[in-house]
Amino acid sequence: MKFRISSTGFYVPPDIETAEDLSARVGRSVEWIRSRTGVEHRHVARIPDGTLLGAEAARQALGDGPPPDLVINGSGLPRQVIPDNSTFLLDALGLEGIPCFTVHATCLSFLVGLKVATSMLGASFSRILLVSAEVTSVGRDFNEPESCVLLGDGASAAVIYSANDQVASELLFWDMETWPSGADLATVKGGGTLLHPNRPDAKLEEQLFHMSGPRIYRFAREKVEGLLQKLWNETGLSASDIDLVVPHQASGPALAALPRYGFPEEKIVNIVGEYGNCVAASLPMALHVALDTGRIHKGDKVLLIGTGAGLSVAAALLRW
């Protein structure tokens, strides 16, 4: 179905934590934090509910336009187990009586939501609101410096609508690969049925985010290379044909590695220093910033790409 992203929205909560603020707490120097994560500061929410951040971004994306006929929450972290976050997004936006659901693929939830949304446009739906919003700060493990100084809270939203040929964008490529041998590399092991808090031996650390940055980096490097090879083979394009790369903001080092695939640094949107890694919200936040600063023009080839817990890699190539 022909589609176009008509508008996007962006929201971060006002409170900021800097690398300096966290340095003493985690027992690492500011320089250590900068070199390992590239994160100078991040925004943190006072109320740990991603749907409140998401609703702010959604209001901005919806603007004065008509209401959506479907709302998809594309986020990794739930506000609660049941109902899913999309119900609370509807509530905060004053919407009711329309379909809504959550798509969860951790950091790749926006990329998956985009594929789902563009597939669903057509007879049933003509205007889909896709929201990625995360509160990571509440689940940080301050005994694991490498992850807790990386994460941030934030939200983004996009309105995707059925467009006529003249204005439509095109999804030239979409693919995702999940490699369960990397399932232990980035986890929140609690919050579900397996390590249920009603076990007598439940531990708080099970409910916190853990990752092994260096192992993810090595694992992802190989998988991203394979995925890009698939992209070039299927489209006949090469890295030099890409006008802008909008990556998941995994970390400073992860973003710094992208030029090895042939993308010049000036074509890579990098906001990790200001906002940290906001899980699924990072990629659409970067997309919003790119649009807002005039870095995307009609017809541009825009590559959305990222890695996520799973371990998964995914990419979408849009002719804007």
Q: Which of residues 214-253 bind its own copies (CB under 8 A)?
A: none
Q: Is 41 a catalytic residue?
A: no
Binding of its own copies at residue 312 (CB under 8 A)? yes
Question: 98-117: which residues touch its own copies (CB under 8 A)?
Answer: 98-106, 108-109, 112, 115-116
Q: Quick check: is 107 catalytic?
A: yes
Burial 284-293 (b: 16+ CB within 10 A, else e): bbbbbbbbee
- Footprint of its own copies on residues 42-101 (CB under 8 A)? 47-50, 76-84, 86-88, 90-91, 95-101
Q: CA 92, CA 81: separation in Å to the nearest integer?
A: 18
Interface segment toward its own copies; rule CB under 8 A; list 23-31, 159-167, 171-179, 240-248: 171-179
**Sequence-distant (≥ 6) Cβ neighbours of residue 31 within 8 angstroms:** none
248 is catalytic: yes
Cα distance between residue 102 and residue 113, in whole Å? 9
186 lies in the binding site for its own copies (CB under 8 A): yes
Binders of its own copies among residues 257 to 276 (CB under 8 A) are none
Residues 22/78, Cβ–Cβ less than 8 Å: no
Q: Which of 164, 165, 201, 204 binds its own copies (CB under 8 A)?
A: 204
The phi and psi torsions of 217 (rounded to 5 degrees) equal: -55, -50
Catalytic member of 210, 277, 278, 288: 277
**Contact between 310 and its own copies per CB under 8 A:** yes
| Strand bridging mode 301-308 / 244-247 | parallel
DSSP state of 15: -
The identity of residue 102, as a single letter, is T
Q: Which of the ranges 35-43, 185-193, 241-249, 289-297 carries the binding residues for its own copies, by CB under 8 A?
A: 185-193
User: Which residues are annotated as catalytic?
Assistant: 107, 248, 277
